[in-house]
Amino acid sequence: MLITYLRAMNWLQGRCEKGQTLVEYAMIILLVAILLILALTVLKDTISSTFSRISSSIPSS
């Protein structure tokens, strides 16, 4: 009976940790997405001018 109880507790604890890990990964992905959006917003003019300069330097055929 004790072995069954310990197995059940171990199984339940493993399920809680899996859910916790999933939430942690979701939070990391959210943080990376927010930082990427902020970086692109701040650097949009620089990126646009760089692509325009590159585009104008390529000879048209």
**20-58 pLDDT tens trace:** 778 888 999 999 999 999 999 999 999 999 999 999 999
Of how many residues is the chain composed? 61
Q: How far apart are the first and last CA of the chain?
A: 81
Place of tokens 């990427």: 36
CA dist 5 and 11 (Å) reads 10
Quote the CA–CA distance of 54 and 15 in Å, as a whole number: 52
The predicted model scores a pTM of 0.55
